[in-house]
Amino acid sequence: MSLFLPPYAAEPPFAHGQAPRTGVLYCNLGTPDTPTTPDVRRFLAEFLSDPRVVEIPRLIWLVLLYGVVLRVRPAQSAAKYASIWSAEGSPLKVWTERQTRALQAWLTQRKHQVLVRYAMRYGSSSIPSQLDALKAEGATRVLIVPAYPQYSATTTASLWDAVYKWAATVRSIPELRFINHYHDDPHYIAALASRVSHHWLAHGRPDVLVMSFHGVPERTLHLGDPYHCECFKTARLLAEQLGLNASEFKVTFQSRLGRAKWLEPYTEPTLIEMGKAGVKRVDVVCPAFTSDCLETLEEINQEAREAFLHAGGQSFHYIPCLNDDEAWIAALGEITQQHLMGWPTQSLPDPQALAASKAAAHALGAEV
Ligand SMILES: C=CC1=C(C)c2cc3[nH]c(cc4nc(cc5[nH]c(cc1n2)c(C)c5CCC(=O)O)C(CCC(=O)O)=C4C)c(C)c3C=C
Ligand SMILES: [Fe+2]
Ligand SMILES: [Fe+2]
Q: What is the pLDDT of residue 350?
A: 58
Mutate to test the pocket of ligand 1, among 26, 28, 29 (most ligand atoms within 8 A of CB): 29
pTM of the model: 0.93
Cα 298 to middle of ligand 3, angstroms: 28
pLDDT digits (tens, 9 = 90+) for 4-54: 766 788 888 888 888 889 999 999 999 999 999 999 999 999 999 999 999
The mean pLDDT of the chain is 94
Strand partners, 188: none
Q: What is the ipTM of this complex?
A: 0.92
Give the chain's domains with CATH numbers: 21-181+326-351 (3.40.50.1400), 186-319 (3.40.50.1400)
Q: Would you say 183 is a known binding-site residue?
A: no
Query: Ligand 1, atom 19: nearest CA belongs to which residue?
Result: 257
Annotated ligand binding at 248? The verdict is no
pLDDT of residue 258: 86
Distance 266 CA to ligand 2 centre (A): 14
Question: Is 367 a residue whose pLDDT tops 60?
Answer: no
Q: pLDDT, tens digit, for every residue of 205-262?
A: 999 999 999 999 999 999 999 999 999 999 999 999 999 999 999 999 999 998 899 9
Q: Which of 72, 255, 286, 300 to mutate to test the pocket of ligand 1 (most atoms within 8 A of CB)?
A: 255
Of the listed ligands, the closest to the CA of 230 is 3
Beta bridge partners of 284: 210, 318
What confidence score (pLDDT) does residue 357 get? 62
Cis bond upstream, residue 351 (ω within 30): no
The reported pLDDT for the residue numbered 246 is 97
CA–centroid distance, residue 204 to ligand 1 (Å): 31
Order across the sheet with 281-285: list the strands.
249-254, 208-214, 281-285, 315-319
Sign, CA torsion 89/36/253/200? positive
**Long-range contacts from 6-9, C-beta under 8 angstroms, 24+ separation:** 7/168, 7/169, 8/169, 8/170, 8/171, 9/169, 9/170, 9/171
Q: Is pLDDT of 304 > 90? A: yes
C-alpha of 275 from chain center: 31
pLDDT for the residue 12: 84
Instruction: Give the model's pLDDT for residue 133.
Output: 97
At 361 the pLDDT is 60
Residue 121: alpha-carbon gap to chain centroid: 9
The residue among 259 and 367 whose pLDDT is bigger is 259
User: What number does the ligand 1 atom closest to the CA of 258 have?
Assistant: 1
Q: pLDDT at position 358, please?
A: 65
pLDDT > 70 fraction of the chain, expressed in percent and rounded: 93
pLDDT of residue 349: 60
**HEC letters along the chain:** CCCCCCCCCCCCCCCCCCCCEEEEEEEECCCCCCCCHHHHHHHHHHHHCCCCCCCCCHHHHHHHHHHHHHHHHHHHHHHHHHHHCECCECHHHHHHHHHHHHHHHHHHHCCCCEEEEEEECCCCCEHHHHHHHHHHCCEEEEEEEECCCCCCHHHHHHHHHHHHHHHCCCCCCCEEEECCCCCCCHHHHHHHHHHHHHHHHHHCCCCEEEEEEECCEHHHHHCCCCHHHHHHHHHHHHHHHHCCCHHHEEEEEECCCCCCCECCCEHHHHHHHHHHCCCCEEEEECCCCCCCCHHHHCHHHHHHHHHHHHCCCCEEEEECCCCCCHHHHHHHHHHHHHHHCCCCCCCCCCHHHHHHHHHHHHHCCCCC
Please tell me the predicted confidence (pLDDT) of residue 368. Answer: 40
Express each pLDDT in 133-148 by its tens digit. 999 999 999 999 999 9
Report which ligand 1 atom has the smallest distance to the Cα of 147.
39
User: What span, in angstroms and rounded, lies between the C-alpha atoms of 368 and 366?
Assistant: 6
CA distance 233 to 239: 10
Q: How far is the CA of 179 from the centre of ligand 3 (A)?
A: 21
State the Cα–Cα distance between residues 234 and 229, nearest whole angstrom. 9
Distance 255 CA to ligand 1 centre (A): 7
Pocket-testing residue among 65, 295, 296, 322, ligand 1, by greatest number of atoms within 8 A of Cβ: 295
